[in-house]
Amino acid sequence: MENEDEDRIRTWSNDSYRYPRQSSTRRYLVSALVGIVIVYLLFFVRLPFFVFMPGTAEEIKPMVTIPKASDEEKGTLMLTTVRVADANIVNYIVGMLHPYEEIQPKTSVLRKGESEQEYTQRQEYVMLTSQSSAIQAAYTHAKIPFHISHEGVMVLQTLPGLSGEKVLKPGDVLLKAGNKEVKVAQDLLDALKGKKAGESISITYARQKVEQTADLTLGALPKQEGEQGEPRAGIGVVPADMQSVKADQEDQQVSIKAGEIGGPSAGLMFSLEIFNQLVPEDITKGYRIAGTGTIETDGTVGPIGGIQHKIIAADRQKADFFFAPKDVTYPDGTKVLNYTDAVARANQIKSKMKVVEIGTMDDALKFLAALPPK
């Protein structure tokens, strides 16, 4: 009996010793799980907002290649970017408090029905068209003969519920519709003219330069505002013409590789860099010149967004001058104050950089021509 009592006491003592250890382990596990959930909520749950902040100021010369180019460039021409991040709880709070960051709802950036992937593709497309306009403007100012080559139609967006959504992706290039070669978007419309929903058509397209063919069934397209009668039949894509600018002389052909930079706002700076490589004199004269602005083929410079962030990016790279699009007032009274906003932000950060108001490529070239060599 005595031994049995000892055994019972010993067993009870061991159980009571182990119990707190199990309880403590359980608390640690619960705490760890709570911590993981909190981290997940703070950093990985995406909010319906974008955070805009200063990006980079990047030298353009390495992005532009011309076989017969002038190597003389003592200064630097730089494009400027805005960094855009998906908002989580942490960077949303930081963005609300930070004086140089900005929060915008995604609905103010994305078009109706547009996914973020389609938005990215649209930005890549407008960068390509911006580069095309920049090359044309530079060729025209440098008096270089050139011609335009049409190279197919890019898919920017697919419409939900139609056959294009199942087969095609943003970035695909349409090459043929039925037996008709597709060079411009009108060629696709012509190939579909007279066809009805339920009929099919063979579409040849290129994805990452690999050619493919698929049969797509036509569906009823959503009616556009003011459209009357039966809805048109289509495959459900938003098309965009692709073109390239070809110099008549091969050794003056421009090629641009801008990496992952998207959007149209580097047009002005690309045109200046291309021009500088085409002419014998160095227009930079040893200065560090940053800037922004869209460019038309005739050299007209247009307004852009996020210039207050680009000023900071340029200042960080110690630019001497910043080319900002001139303030614009549209017929409906809407104002885009690029130059005014750029000056205000430069003053706010106490930058030594001079902000220069630019309306055309000629304005920029005249300003540079008047500078003394550094």
The whole-angstrom separation of Cα 16 and Cα 21 is 9
- Collapsed DSSP state (helix, strand, coil) of residue 207: strand
Query: Which one is catalytic: 265, 271, 326, 351?
Result: 265
The whole-angstrom separation of Cα 188 and Cα 181 is 8
The whole-angstrom separation of Cα 129 and Cα 240 is 10
- Collapsed DSSP state (helix, strand, coil) of residue 18: helix
Hey, what are 51's tokens?
A: 């955070």
The whole-angstrom separation of Cα 295 and Cα 284 is 19
Please work out, in degrees rounded to the nearest 5, the angle formed at the alpha carbon of residue 16 by the alpha carbons of 15 and 21: 90
Hey, what are 40's tokens?
A: 């997940």
- Collapsed DSSP state (helix, strand, coil) of residue 142: helix
Task: Using alpha carbons, select from 178, 181, 156, 179 the residue that is nearest to residue 236.
Answer: 156
Burial of residue 329 (number of CB atoms within 10 Å: 0-12, 13-18, 19+): exposed
For the chain, the C-alpha Rg in angstroms (whole number) is 29
Q: Is 265 a catalytic residue?
A: yes
The DSSP result for 142-153, as a single string, is HT--EEEEEEEE
Q: Is 335 a catalytic residue?
A: no
The whole-angstrom separation of Cα 58 and Cα 261 is 10
Task: Using alpha carbons, select from 261, 314, 254, 297 the residue that is nearest to residue 77.
Answer: 314
Query: Which one is catalytic: 176, 183, 310, 326?
Result: 310
Active-site amino acid positions: 265, 310
